[in-house]
Amino acid sequence: MSIDISQFHQTFFEECFEGLEVMESGLLNLDIGNADNEVINAIFRGAHSIKGGSATFGFTEVASFTHVMETLLDEMRAGQRDVTQSLIDILLRSVDCLHGMIAATSQGEPIDTSSVSSLQKELETVLGSTPVNSSDSSTIPPTSPGNAGDSIVEWLIDFKPHADMVRTGNDPVLLLREIERIGEVQIVIDTSNVPDFKNIDPESCYLSWVLTLTTSESEANIRQIFDWVEDECDLRIEKISNTTTPLPPQRDSAAIAAPDIASQPEKTGVKKSTAENSSIRVSIDKIDALINMVGELVITQSMMGQLDGNLEDFDVSKLEKLRDGLTLLERNTRELQESVMRIRMLPISFSFNRFPRMVRDLSQQLNKKINLTMSGEQTELDKTVMEKIGDPLVHLLRNSLDHGIETPEVRLSKGKPETGTIELNAYHKGGNIVIEISDDGAGFNKDKILAKAVENNLIGSNDDISDEKIYDLIFMPGFSTADTISDVSGRGVGMDVVKRNIRELGGNIDVTSEVDKGTTFTIRLPLTLAILDGQLLSVGTQTYIVPLVSIVESLQIKKENINSIAGKSEVYKLREDYIPILRLHDVFGIKASTRDLTDGLLVVIEGDGKKIGLYIDDLLGQQQVVIKSLESNYEPIQGISGATILGDGTVSLILDVEGLITLQQNINYSQDAA
């Protein structure tokens, strides 16, 4: 029977990427000259699992490269090789290379064999061993049975796999086939540990083998076959006798009755996917909570079913039960919704884990000493939000590394420690997640920012603007205060992309800075993009929804507080502030119930640090709504972020606060120009 193992490829690739993260994190945590054995063992186990799985699935190039890494790590954990900076550097480059190999393999693309071969030779040079031929078809250096007249030895091999060996992707049958390649073997299978059929765990190994091998190979070469499963089996190899008798012809390896999985051809047209979006791992607690909620719904449905029947026989006595059932149904549905949303929630550590390596590499490139501290890594947010916030965080961190933290010499001259600190923190606040990137560097030079803004005609030379507005200038397209262009920053790209990406996620970013004290970027994001708490607004015959978190206040309009600018733009005096008024019925071309401002309401909304007042007919209520993309189903519309279906089946548009503010500014500009 043949088993199509390609169905397990994606799971293997995901486990590989997780193992590579563990390896990279461990290498970054190694202490020079005095390494923690537990850390080295964790790194070794990561390489060990990747090598074994790669060999099982027939990815020989990956397995061959990892085998060299594993040998080097084995010497480190055995204390035969000291941990040095150069050794950590080459292993980190090897992790990067391995990541590229696995990514290419997962997408069905060719591996860059030239770079892999070059790095493998570097590893072999460090090992001081004979280079391994990476083009060989197996992960183990090829050996051949002895010829007539060679010194032939008979070996007894007692091989007892641990029960969980197959769970790690290692197949004992493949090992037995390798044994057959190097000599004549007799195999006795021990089935005494196989339980009754009803107690069999299909992922456990209950068999063991006693092999009698006649070969010219040394004991070291035999043990090498079992190298990647040495921690997952009990192995005893003993010499029985010596002989010079020529070996009989080898048997066909098919003589071992087992599923043929190694020779299963790989299917063409591999589905391209990435580790980031292919799947999600969910804790058993979340699954249990979801199952419990479904059980509650079934009970509620059963209770409601008892009230079903002929409506003519429906008496008042059943009305209270119906009300109770509907209340219970509403509560269960809400809790089920929350449980489903929690399944998509992942710790933000999935995004944070990439940064220690980046800080290490860039600090070396910039000749700076930087310590990165992270907190709140277990703070959860929606998987989609996490995937889209990764690049903005990289840009902000690189900005702190390049512009924020000074060189050791400059820091010492300012009376600071020569090692700078960057803090990455995440926490929940209300219905949002807050991410802070802080550094104790030079801070922003406001005079330099203003001078650059005047030079680029972004502001006038006599304009008096607040600190908040000054810091907002760094997010303008093409704006940069860097004196020189480097590989890290200074080209005027990145910060505007950061702000745009964060706004697309429904979030915002604030900056606080103090000269020679440091800078803090504060990002606020919704926990999920699928559901929002909204306020329903009535405009003419239409109903719109505005995110609840964007509403500052709602008020009845007083005529004495209405003002106009040049007889055109309308503003409302709210305490000591003047709020521009945006008439929604004019924006969307709706016939208004009334045009007299005093007959309606003003909803003050805030986004991107600015406020406007939406003139509406009435407030209808608040509710959670499921967001449907308007762009993917129709086309993008300024001022609209999506749509939803209300309880009565009608479609309601969800307002984009930042888009409406931009629209208001454009209206004012066109009116002033006229």
The CA distance from 344 to 282, in Å, is: 8
Q: Distance from CA of residue 472 to its chain's centroid?
A: 29
Any catalytic annotation for residue 425? no
Residue type, 378: Q
For the chain, count helices (H), then strands (E): 19, 22
Tell me 646's DSSP state. Answer: -
The CA distance from 508 to 475, in Å, is: 12
Consecutive H or E run containing 670: helix 657-673
Q: Identify whether the C-beta of residue 604 lies closer than 8 Å to the C-beta of residue 656.
A: no
Annotated catalytic residue: which of 21, 70, 570, 606? 70
DSSP string, 150-216: S-EEEEEEEEEE-TTGGGGT--HHHHHHHHHHTSEEEEEEE-TT---GGG--TTS---EEEEEEEES
The CA distance from 638 to 261, in Å, is: 55
Strand partners, 654: 545, 642
DSSP-derived 3-state class of residue 167: helix
DSSP-derived 3-state class of residue 23: helix
DSSP string, 290-330: HHHHHHHHHHHHHHHHHT-S-GGG--GGGHHHHHHHHHHHH
Tell me 401's DSSP state. Answer: I
The CA distance from 185 to 663, in Å, is: 81
Give burial (CB, 10 Å; 0-12/13-18/19+) of 117: middle
The CA distance from 35 to 58, in Å, is: 34
Annotated catalytic residue: which of 170, 332, 399, 425? 399
Any catalytic annotation for residue 70? yes
Q: Identify whether the C-beta of residue 400 lies closer than 8 Å to the C-beta of residue 372.
A: no
Residue type, 74: D
Q: Identify whether the C-beta of residue 386 lies closer than 8 Å to the C-beta of residue 428.
A: no
The CA–CA distances, whole Å, from 347 to 276, 281, 380 equal 14, 11, 4
Annotated catalytic residue: which of 9, 21, 24, 48? 48
DSSP string, 504-570: HTT-EEEEEEETTTEEEEEEEEES-SSEEEEEEEEETTEEEEEEGGGEEEEEEPPGGGEEEETTTEE
Q: Distance from CA of residue 579 to its chain's centroid?
A: 40
Residue type, 11: T
Any catalytic annotation for residue 399? yes
The CA distance from 274 to 46, in Å, is: 20
Consecutive H or E run containing 490: none
Q: In the chain, what is the greatest distance between 2 CA atoms, to the nearest angstrom?
A: 113
DSSP-derived 3-state class of residue 111: coil
How do 531-539 and 618-626 pair as beta strands? antiparallel
Residue type, 214: T
Tokens of 541: 């015959």
What sign results for the dihedral spanned by CA atoms 177, 178, 179, 180?
positive
Enumerate the active-site residues. Answer: 48, 70, 399
